[in-house]
Amino acid sequence: MNYLKLFLPATAMLLLVVASHAQTDRQANIHLVNGKKVLGAVVTSYDDQTLTISVDGDTEFVLRYDLIKKIRFRGNDKISDAWATKIAPPASLRLHTYYHELRSGTLFGEENIDVSLHTLNGYQFNQYLGTALGVGLNKYGNYLTMPVYGQVKGFLLDRKVSPFYFGDIGYGFAWRNRADDEMFEIANVKGGLYWQIGLGYQLNFAKSALTFSFGYSSQASEARYHYQGYSPYSRLSFPGNTIGNGVEIIEKRDLRRFSVSVGFLF
């Protein structure tokens, strides 16, 4: 019995010491996106949306992770600018901030499967609206285009894996390395209106993200060809025409493609 009387107070004292030490270790300095700081104890562990901070043991703040820039924990009970550990908030959408994205993809047409490479710089105002400026290179068979465009992007959910929608519109500059038929010489190639709409998923990390998207795009173009002569094997030449007769063909196309793309956002 005497041992029990000694054991219970000793155990209680030990638990108080451990709890006090654990509370001190969880003291954190919260740096917010707006530049302000909150100093307090972390009450709850990380979840998907919020973090609860206790200030002076009485007042509690519930902070959304998209408002937190960084979190630093103190390693001891002394007031100091030296923080032992730096921990980033868990993955979620990065709102009210600038972003950069590098994206590569595959373009699927009726006859050709080609590639694309794009880069974008933008700002995400809120969950449902972000805007960006983009430039890219798209290959369409013998055509090579460079679209310069604006993008609107929004998210359906704020999660680690966030579905999103997007739309692009701009102008695409165009080049063509050769004609479809050897009897014609390319005189001039012009680009035109470029647009794309699509859906995708964004896999969010603390400071970056991966994007997977599916889209449908259109690129207007115009090519002028000079006729070089008649050949019975040419599907575009005509009997009786000779070299230098001045025949010119104007070809206008809307290059429409389905696309599958993967991007890295930071």
Give how far the C-alpha of residue 190 lies from the chain's centroid of Cα atoms, to the nearest Å. 30
Using the predicted structure, report yes or no on whether residue 194 has a pLDDT greater than 60: yes
Considering the domain architecture, whether residues 234 and 140 belong to the same structural domain is answered as yes
Same domain, 106 and 210: yes
> Would residue 187 count as lying in a domain?
yes
| 116 and 56 within one domain | no
Does 92 fall in a domain?
no
pLDDT at 121: 98
Residue 206 lies in a domain: yes
Considering only residues 21 and 208, tell me which one the structure prediction assigns the higher pLDDT: 208
The answer on 238 and 165 residing in a single domain is yes
Last residue of a domain, one of 87, 118, 135: 87
- Are both 81 and 128 inside the same structural domain? no
Domain match, 104 and 67 both: no
103 plus 124 within the same structural domain? yes
Domain assignment present for 198: yes
Q: How many domains does the chain have?
A: 2
Position 228 scores a pLDDT of 64
Q: How far is CA 217 from CA 78, 106, 174, in A?
A: 60, 12, 15
Do residues 53 and 83 both lie within one domain? Answer: yes
pTM given for the model? 0.62
Query: 55 and 102 in one domain?
Result: no
Buried b (16+ CB within 10 A) or exposed e, 126-145: ebeebebebebebebeebbb
Query: Using CA atoms, how far apart are residues 195 and 170, in angstroms rounded to an integer?
Result: 6
Tell me how far apart the alpha carbons of residues 266 and 100 are, in angstroms, rounded to a whole number. Answer: 5
Task: Provide the residue range defining the domain that includes 30.
Answer: 2-87
Cβ proximity of 60 and 53 under 8 Å? yes
Do 152 and 113 sit in the same domain of this protein?
A: yes
Residue 120 vs residue 41, higher pLDDT: 120
CATH of the domain at 64: 2.30.30.100
Measured CA to CA, the distance from residue 248 to residue 187 in angstroms comes to: 9
- The string of pLDDT tens digits covering residues 137-153 is 999 988 899 999 999 99
Residue 117 is predicted with a pLDDT of 98
Q: Please say which residue of 64, 87, 110 terminates a domain.
A: 87
* Spatial contact of 154 and 164, defined as CB atoms under 8 Å apart: yes
